[in-house]
Amino acid sequence: MNTIRYAIAGSAGRMGRTLIEAVQQDEGATLAAALEQSGSLFLGKDAGELVGAPCGVHISADIDAALAVSDCLIDFTRPEGTLQHLAACLRHRVSLVIGTTGFSIEGKQAIEDAAREIPVVFAPNMAVGVNAVFRLLDVAARILDQGYDVEVIEAHHRHKVDAPSGTALHMGEIVAAALDRDLSECAVYGREGHTGERPGTQIGFSTIRGGDIIGDHTVLFAGTGERIEITHKSGGRMPYALGALRAGRFMSGHDHGLFDMQDVLGLK
């Protein structure tokens, strides 16, 4: 197995630290660079010390120096930072795993354009279990296509800045596609006041923010006399990190292209 050299963006954050830990535990991976924003108090520190295992890689704000010694950048930061890193990956011909959510239409287009030149895995959720749920939702929606109301409920920690989550939105997209609906036309994001009777074609989203919830997602199919719930609950961030490393290995066999975790897991 070839060793893949990873650069980690946002290395001092909660997800960044988990990614560092995952890389250090993977025999087929090595930490080549750790990045933080200019002005961060963590600049210059040994990245491994963040997870109790010094490794000699010091946290830097120099994206070009980081990518010069890396095969793949993993980015779970914010859209504006990820797009800057995307441009740097293009300059250095480095593959990119994007776990960031909340992109605008223009941002998504920039990612699609870049993937014509470099390999990019862009997925709303990197966890293998969540991607199994995505497949289950497609099957369930096709079976429960008449007489069932669909609601997507998600919960995350108080620090999450976008809502609904990218995972919840993707769940809605999967169900809408299976039911031959346009999510932009049938989605409702929260309800208040006198809303009237619920249309049968509606797909509702409910968002919870609080505490240290890592990420819970449920899709409810509510029929007459029965309810079917498909749920995924995250107990930690490691599943996302392991999925991201799997995505990095997958791209080692490609010189360009836009992929998601369904591609990585061979589900397409």
Q: Where are the domains of the chain?
A: 4-122+237-264, 128-234
What's the rounded mean pLDDT across residues 170-183?
A: 97
Work out the burial of residue 105: count CB atoms within 10 Å of its CB; fewer than 13 is exposed, 13-18 middle, 19 or more buried.
exposed
Which residues participate in catalysis according to the annotation? 156, 160
Which residues 6+ apart lie within 8 Å of 121 measured at CB? 95, 96, 97, 98, 247, 248, 250, 251, 259, 260, 261, 263, 264
106-130 residue pLDDT tens: 999 999 999 999 999 999 899 999 9
Judged against a pLDDT cut of 70, whether residue 44 lies above it is answered with yes
Q: Where are the alpha helices (DSSP H) in the chain?
A: 14-25, 63-68, 79-92, 105-114, 128-143, 166-178, 183-186, 238-251, 261-264
What's the rounded mean pLDDT across residues 260-264?
A: 95
Judged against a pLDDT cut of 80, whether residue 259 lies above it is answered with yes
Q: Any idea which of 79-83, 98-102, 133-137, 215-219 has the lowest mean pLDDT? A: 98-102
Judged against a pLDDT cut of 70, whether residue 1 lies above it is answered with no
Range 128-234 classified under CATH 3.30.365.10: no
The pair of structure tokens assigned to 161 is: 């800045």
Strand partners for 156:
209
pLDDT for the residue numbered 234: 93
pLDDT for the residue numbered 268: 78
Range 4-122+237-264 classified under CATH 3.40.190.10: no
What's the rounded mean pLDDT across residues 136-156?
A: 97
What's the rounded mean pLDDT across residues 5-24?
A: 97
pLDDT for the residue numbered 124: 85
